[in-house]
Amino acid sequence: MSTLKDKQLTDITVEDLLISSEKVAHVQLNNPLEHALLVLVKSGYSAVPVLDPSYKLVGTIGKTVILNQILGLERFEFEKLSSMRVEEVMYTDIPCLSKNDTFLDALKAVIDSPFVCVSDAEGYFDGILTRRAILKQVSRDIYTKRQLTEK
């Protein structure tokens, strides 16, 4: 069995670089915005996946969209945080990958996003693929090829 470092970029799949769903901060559709903002601030992320009650991926939500919702003319209207729900403001038109997608598919997907969600054929959330994981793999590949050519 070959390890990831032995694989060519063209042989790597999304599954090889995936951060599994168990390790990913997320919120659910019916959570109040207050909860979502707490998750975002505590985790340090700018956005997280949104899941339905059966753990199917339905979108993402970020700090910016939440803050825009509570921005009034002269102040932040923090009282809105407890009355508004994630499903009211989340993004639903998001890029998504499957575990079997290629490295090139993944590279294209993360160009415009710091992470891309991964789900199975039924829509269940498998995890995320980060731009960081892609860049680390490209860097590793370049370094390895450089070492081979210097020998």
Q: Report pLDDT digits (tens) over 4-21.
A: 666 788 889 999 999 999
**Number of structural domains found in the chain:** 1
The mean of the pLDDT values for the chain is 91
Domain of 65, in residue numbers? 4-150
Quick one: 57 exposed, middle or buried, by C-beta within 10 A (0-12, 13-18, 19+)? buried
Domain CATH code at residue 77: 3.10.580.10
Q: What is the pLDDT of residue 2?
A: 43
Instruction: Render the burial of 29-48: b for 16+ CB within 10 Å, e for the rest.
Output: bebbbbbbbebbeeeebebb
User: Distance (Å, rounded) from C-alpha 103 to C-alpha 16?
Assistant: 9
Q: What is the pLDDT of residue 73?
A: 84
Res 140 pLDDT > 60: yes
CA angle 143, 147, 149 (to 5 degrees): 120
CB 117 within 8 A of CB 60: yes
Q: What is the pLDDT of residue 11?
A: 87
